[in-house]
Structure 1
Amino acid sequence: MRIGILGTGHVGQALASAWARAGHDVVIGSRRPGDPELLAKLEGLLAAGARIEDSAAAAAHAEVLVNATPGTASVALLRTIGAPALAGKVLLDVAVGFLADGTLSHPVVSLGEEIQRAFPETRVVKTFSTIDRGVMVAPDSLEGPSTVFLSGEDAEAKQVVHGLLADLGWPDDSVLDLGGIATARGQEHFADLFVAVARATGTYEFGIRVVLPAAGQGVAGG
């Protein structure tokens, strides 16, 4: 599959590397694709077969476009690419926006919702907002199974993303579809609990697991 990844930070690099190893055709989008310092930083990805282009070229290449940019800049960057270029594409959004003081930049809604509203013809799917980049690409690094979530309006787009998660090692029973894009709020707003858990445990390399009642033990309606 042709994957475009917007963002050259740690998350973008981890996903690009893992999907390139899985055999996907990966192009990384950057505002400075010819910068020697950037090329040196991404030398390993280039050796693995990924390519670096500008953001518009990465979007044009992509069947699935991944937003791994800082959440405070994501909508503005996508506007530079333009709604016509994004129409019909699956946009896998992993970003969470933080302000300088560490608080969320989207405390009422979610970045995923803002992207969907700004680009109504784009098929936005939110995922990976509840885990660190290392766990994203190596779920088997944890001691036990973990849960990863999907939010979005388009069922077919979510199936495409589900397949890409499988390529990273996520089994079917670890993927939980939460429903429409409004449920992305829960994924993104988990960031506060994520940071607290990381501080309490001394690591960002952890997952969470949705554990259901034993058969016959559930109480309807909580």
Structure 2
Amino acid sequence: MRIGVMGTGAMAAALGGAWARAGHEVFIGGRDTAAAATLAAQIGAAGHGTPAQASTYGEAVLLAVPAGTAPSLARQHAGALTGRTVVDCTNALVPGPGGVMLTTDAGQSVAGLIAAAAPAAHVVKAFNLVHVSHWHRPPLPTADPAPAVPFCTDDTEAAAHITELITATGWTPIPSGGLDRAPYLEATAAWAIGIWWSGNSPHLALPDTPPPA
């Protein structure tokens, strides 16, 4: 698959690198084109340039930018993103008195704001629940079952694209409903990250118990 990556930060490097290693054609686009060139060389990307060039590069586009700027970036390139799968991996989080908090309004998601900004794009929420370091390496081959990436989207073709991209990282896709479910996925990230920061593991609260027979 051809994938345009808008951004040159940690998630751009981690996911772009994972996809390049899996044989996908990745294009890094950044406002700082020198940084885009450096990152492209580091991960073995097929090309580099500006965010505008990344927005038109392939079937899928990763918005690997801060959550606060992702909707405006999508609006700026809305025409170019028409018909493309746009992957939102962001978390809009800030520290609060009781732990990590969302900066979006209740019932709202960054993914939903991106979809409103680029209404002809096919937005997917994914890759926002674990630390960026996980995407630099595949899961251990002994992991059974493989760890999973939940995703939300309204579009069948986008679901197929994100399934391929998740599988390329060595993880298992978990369809988690339409984009109206993205607020729950983003809220889960706020909860999980808060638990990690407190020195505990969210996995302990979610044991994999089979349903009753």
Normalising to structure 1: TM-score of the pair?
Answer: 0.81
Residue 41 of structure 1: CA displacement? 5.7
Whole-angstrom distance in 2 between the partners of 1:84 and 1:116: 13
Q: 1:88 and 1:209, CA in 2 relative to 1: closer, same or farther beyond 3 A?
A: farther
Whole-angstrom distance in 2 between the partners of 1:55 and 1:41: 14
Whole-angstrom distance in 2 between the partners of 1:27 and 1:135: 21
Q: 1:90 aligns with which of 73, 77, 85?
A: 85
Stretch deviating more after TM superposition (126-135 or 8-17)? 126-135
Whole-angstrom distance in 2 between the partners of 1:185 and 1:207: 23
Q: 1:166 and 1:138, CA in 2 relative to 1: closer, same or farther beyond 3 A?
A: same
Residue 125 of structure 1: CA displacement? 0.9
In the alignment, what sits opposite 1:220? none
1:139-158 equivalences under 5 Å are: 140-141=139-140, 145-158=146-159
Residue 164 of structure 1: CA displacement? 1.1
Q: Please tell me whether residue 159 in structure 1 is matched to residue 150 in structure 2.
A: no
Asked whether the equivalents of residues 27 and 61 of structure 1 are also in contact (C-alpha less than 8 Å), the reply is: yes
Asked whether the equivalents of residues 139 and 146 of structure 1 are also in contact (C-alpha less than 8 Å), the reply is: no
Uncovered stretches (5+) of structure 1, i.e. residues with no partner = 217-222
Whole-angstrom distance in 2 between the partners of 1:165 and 1:93: 13
Residue 120 of structure 1: CA displacement? 1.6
Q: Please tell me whether residue 75 in structure 1 is matched to residue 71 in structure 2.
A: yes
How many aligned positions are there? 207
Q: 1:40 and 1:56, CA in 2 relative to 1: closer, same or farther beyond 3 A?
A: closer
Residue 39 of structure 1: CA displacement? 4.3
Residue type of the alignment partner of 1:155: T
| Secondary structure class of the residue paired with 1:179 | coil
| Secondary structure class of the residue paired with 2:174 | strand
Stretch deviating more after TM superposition (67-76 or 182-191)? 182-191
Q: Please tell me whether residue 211 in structure 1 is matched to residue 208 in structure 2.
A: yes
Q: 1:61 aligns with which of 53, 57, 64?
A: 57
Residue 212 of structure 1: CA displacement? 4.9
Residue type of the alignment partner of 1:158: A
Asked whether the equivalents of residues 4 and 26 of structure 2 are also in contact (C-alpha less than 8 Å), the reply is: yes
Deviations 1:190-209 (A, max 9, x none): 232222222244799x8996
Asked whether the equivalents of residues 17 and 136 of structure 2 are also in contact (C-alpha less than 8 Å), the reply is: no
- Superposition RMSD in Å: 2.8
| Secondary structure class of the residue paired with 2:210 | coil
Whole-angstrom distance in 2 between the partners of 1:55 and 1:136: 22
Q: Please tell me whether residue 169 in structure 1 is matched to residue 167 in structure 2.
A: no
Deviations 1:168-220 (A, max 9, x none): 1113xxx221111011111111232222222244799x89967353441xxxx
Deviations 1:40-80 (A, max 9, x none): 466412xx244221001011112100111100001111222
Whole-angstrom distance in 2 between the partners of 1:128 and 1:28: 18
Deviations 1:84-122 (A, max 9, x none): 211101111111123586642214210011111222211
Asked whether the equivalents of residues 147 and 209 of structure 1 are also in contact (C-alpha less than 8 Å), the reply is: no
Residue type of the alignment partner of 1:51: G
Q: 2:47 aligns with which of 31, 45, 51?
A: 51
Asked whether the equivalents of residues 72 and 97 of structure 1 are also in contact (C-alpha less than 8 Å), the reply is: yes
Deviations 1:4-49 (A, max 9, x none): 01111111101111111111111111012135xx64466412xx24
